[in-house]
Amino acid sequence: MKAIILAAGEGTRLRPFSNTKPKPMIKIFGKPILEHNIEKIYQSVDEIIIVVKYKKEVIQNYFQDNYKGTKITYQEQNEQKGTWAAIREISLPKTDILVLNGDSIFDQKDFDKIISFSWYGALVQAVSDPSKYGIFKQNSWGLASEIIEKPENFVWDLANLWVYKFNEEIIEISKNIPLSKRGEYEITDSINAFIKKHPFHLFPIWGNFIDVGYPWDILEANAHFLNAFTKTYVAWEIEEWVTIKGKVILEEWAILKAGTYIEWNVYVWKNSSIGPNAYLRGSTVIGENCHIWASVEIKNSSLGDHTNVAHLSYIWDSIIGNHVNIWGGMITANLRHDKWDIKVMVKWELVNSHRHKLWVIIGDNTKTWIKTMTYPGRIIENDSFTLPGEIVK
């Protein structure tokens, strides 16, 4: 069996983080979204073909030509439009194929279910509003009879989750489908043609489906893994007078310095230092090579790699990128006085985050000077800097 992973997309709704990397390479719980899925399938396939385009070098440099011994090759999507365009260019021998989107995370048991099945099908999930999804219709035998993209009227409630098992015929089928009304090569057209030739089973997922569509979804995704902690794991150093009321993963060369206080679950990546006298709480992920200085409070936040937070700063309900320097005394609001949901500007449109608490979203390579303050739900773009005492409105 071979795997094809669709990872050519840009992920514009995840800006500023997707300005420097494709969406599948955004880190969740210490590793890229793409790796979360590859690590669950690599032992079941003899080759992984990753479809790339936007900032392809980020993916290629990270994974190289193999993952723990399983061969990895790359197929660059050409200028033809559509999620399915690149599949038309792939040549495969007679084999079964696992096809999945590279920007959502699935449980191991759901991958195992579809991989081990002796025939063909897709992972699905029942949804309350089918008009937002590609929806599979079922026949009287429980097999898929058709997939309809965002139906205006109710036809069924089983949403397409973009994980499929086909055989090599799907490649030839894809070469013969016409352009859609949108001028794209659509996966739904290929699936419908495949269904006419083969029984196509639908597998409701048993585990969690984690889709990271907006920056604040990173917090929810991290919380999913943090809440699954069963025990504390310490690979390096905890100094005296550190208090831990929760569970901690402390990777190699990371250190919790004296007086640090931790509540709930926290993940600290390699070579990062916390404290002295720092306060970490909520579901918090600290990246690699980070330095959290004295008297810093961080709650329910995600910090990228090579990011520093200087003394007397407060980081609450925030998502911070790589190579960010936060100078001393940064304070910001994470809650509106009227307690309405926080709205965030995404692609020149205010989007409701459906969160009451959301502090700041900071892109890569940004520097905030001393005593910077921000309103709730503000974005500081990549390569930015603030002035001393600046208020980001």
Fill in the amino acid letter for 290.
Answer: C
Bridge partners (DSSP) listed for residue 137: 146
- Told to judge if 201 belongs to the known catalytic residues of this protein, a careful annotator would answer no
Residues 6+ away with beta carbon under 8 Å from 312: 295, 296, 328, 329
What lies within 8 Å, CB to CB, of 281 at 6+ separation is 262, 263, 264, 297, 298, 299, 300
Cα–Cα distance measured from residue 179 to residue 26, given in angstroms and rounded to the nearest whole number: 31
Q: 303 vs 300, 377, 387, CA distance in Å? A: 10, 16, 22
Q: How far is Cα 33 from Cα 212, in angstroms, rounded to an integer?
A: 9
Rounded to whole angstroms, how far apart are CA atoms 282 and 262? Answer: 9
Find the catalytic residue in 201, 311, 337, 354.
Answer: 311
Q: Tell me how far the alpha carbon of residue 359 is from its chain's centroid.
A: 20
Q: How far apart are CA 24 and CA 170, in angstroms?
A: 24
Instruction: Give the closest residue to 279 by CA, choosing from 247, 305, 256.
Output: 256
Identify which of 315, 284, 309 has the alpha carbon closest to the alpha carbon of residue 297: 315
Q: Which residues are catalytic?
A: 311
